Every structure is written in C-alpha cells, then in structure tokens.
Amino acid sequence: MSEATIEGQFKSTYPVTRDKIDFYQKNGYVQFNDVLNSDEVNKLRTGLARAIDDKKGFVRDLAGGDGGGNQKILQMLNLWEYHDEVKQYITGGRIARMAAALTGSDSIRIYHDQALVKEPGPSAPSPWHQDQPYWPSKEPGMLSCWMALDHVTVERGCMQFIAGSHEWGEFSPISFEGEGPALKDLLNDEQRKAWNPIPVELQPGSCTFHHGLTFHYTNANTTDHVRRALVAIFIPDGVNYAGDEKMDGPFSPTISSEKGEPLRGSKFIKLV
C-alpha cells in the first residue's frame, strides 16, 4: 500500500445518502457497509490486541465480573487516549462526519470510545437497553457508531434493534448484571406489540449507528471465535449537560459545563 493511502487512513469521506439519513431518523439506527478497508480493520485489531494486553484506563467486565480473566463482556474505555491506531480512527474524522450527516449537526465531539469484546466461552448477552440513561446529557441526540472488527452474526453477538423505539422516551437504566427489571417489563401494550427485534449481521469494517434512545441488544457469543466491536459515542450540537444527578461515570470529573450548558469536557474533543 502506498504511503499516501496509509496517510489517508480513517480520513477519507464515506458518503451518507439522504436515504440513510431518513432511515436513521425514522428507525433510530442505520447500517453502513465497508466503512473501513481491510488495512484499517487490521490496524484497529492491532490497537485492540495491545489494549487487551496492557489494560490501561477504565477496564471492567460489563456483565459484573472483575475484569480479570474470563470476562463475559470485556469493556475498555477511551482507547484513543492510549493507542495511536484508535486515535487515528477517532480523530481521522470519517465516522464523525457520518455522525454529523445523520444528525444534521454542524459540530461533533467524541464522548468516549469503548471496545466491547465477547470471548467464546464465558460470554453473556448485553440486555435490552437504551444508552441515554447512562449518559450525562439532558436532551437526547447523542449517538453511537458500533464498528464490527469481526464478522458478526446473531450467534456471535451482532447488534439487534427495535426500529422506532427512539420515539418511546427515556426509560430507567438496565442492569447488565441481571438485577432489576428487564426493559421489556417497562413497556406499555402498544410498545409490546411493536416489539420486533431486527438483527444486523455485519462484516468486519461495517457498522451501525444508533440513537441514544434506541432499544438494542446483543446475544452472548456462542461461537468458537471472539467478537470484537469498537464503539464511538458522539455529542452533536444541541446536547446540554444534565447535571450531577445523572452522572457518576468515569468521565464525571472531566466535565467542565454547568447544568444546562452545552456538554463539554477536557476529553470531549471536537472532531467536526
């Protein structure tokens, strides 16, 4: 591969058509194929392998283990701070510009990235949930790009969505450790009738974007192969800080906004 192409990694623009924007706005999620080429996917796999070795920053088992061996869902936050490959991916701008197009926003900031790894064997499902209840934003609007680094099938833990559920309002946060009610228990009759999970199987380098209120789920990985996903969460314009009562996460100390002001923090760098 030429130097020029390597230089351009993660930077070139991926076209987001009007149809895709309309689909996202109507359904609360959308799929894009071949957003990354195989060199870019391999670069991110390299960064992820190093992150799994050195476990810098915030690392835990999202399903309640100790983050040591045998994690059911290994979650590692803000790889971009520690691993150059991921920094290039996040700051290169391709996926941030896609987020800007989907939301119609003039500016996009990163909230954080996260690697979510389901090894074969000890893996757990990620229960049906919305993301917005875990985020410090007052208004909905934040969104995630879920990038597949493996060929993800239903059995390997691909994303599943309830189309249109981003219009159903904000529900309580759901425990990934299996405590408390399931999201489905909180629905009204009409919402229960509309419950029709849509699995989105992806090739490596393909992704989905989903709105912070969209209901989503992934199976435990029941295959013999690892499932690696790299998620980037974005803050578009018009999202304000909800205040302390909604924030006890790892980035609370970095938030510089007062309640009701645009959500800003030292790590929420501007990408677009």
Ligand X SMILES: O=C(O)CCC(=O)C(=O)O
* Cβ closest to ligand X, residue 100 vs residue 213: 213
Among 174, 231, 232, 263, binds ligand X (CB under 6 A): 231
* Cβ closest to ligand X, residue 27 vs residue 144: 144
Supply the minimum distance, in Å, between the C-beta of residue 130 and ligand X: 9
Exposed (0-12), middle (13-18) or buried (19+): which is 161, by Cβ within 10 Å?
A: buried
- In angstroms, the CA 212 to CA 21 distance is 16
Q: Under the criterion CB under 6 A, does residue 131 sit at the interface with ligand X?
A: yes
Among 126, 137, 160, 165, binds ligand X (CB under 6 A): 126
* Cβ closest to ligand X, residue 103 vs residue 144: 144
Window 170 to 229, contacts with ligand X (CB under 6 A): 216, 218, 229
187 Cβ contact partners less than 8 Å away, ≥ 6 residues apart = 168, 195
* Cβ closest to ligand X, residue 9 vs residue 114: 114
* Cβ closest to ligand X, residue 173 vs residue 238: 173
For residue 68, how many other CB atoms are within 10 A of its CB? 9
- Backbone phi and psi for residue 219, each to the nearest 5 degrees, phi listed first: -70, 160
- Backbone phi and psi for residue 181, each to the nearest 5 degrees, phi listed first: -75, 155
Supply the minimum distance, in Å, between the C-beta of residue 228 and ligand X: 10
For residue 17, how many other CB atoms are within 10 A of its CB? 9
Query: DSSP states of 4-26 as a string?
Result: HHHHTTTTSPPP--HHHHHHHHH
Supply the minimum distance, in Å, between the C-beta of residue 212 and ligand X: 9
23 Cβ contact partners less than 8 Å away, ≥ 6 residues apart = 30
Among 146, 160, 164, 67, residue whose Cα is nearest residue 99: 146
Supply the minimum distance, in Å, between the C-beta of residue 98 and ligand X: 15
Supply the minimum distance, in Å, between the C-beta of residue 174 and ligand X: 10
- Site size with ligand X, rule: CB under 6 A: 10
- Backbone phi and psi for residue 26, each to the nearest 5 degrees, phi listed first: -75, -45
Supply the minimum distance, in Å, between the C-beta of residue 116 and ligand X: 4
Binding site for ligand X (CB under 6 A): 116, 126, 131, 144, 146, 157, 216, 218, 229, 231
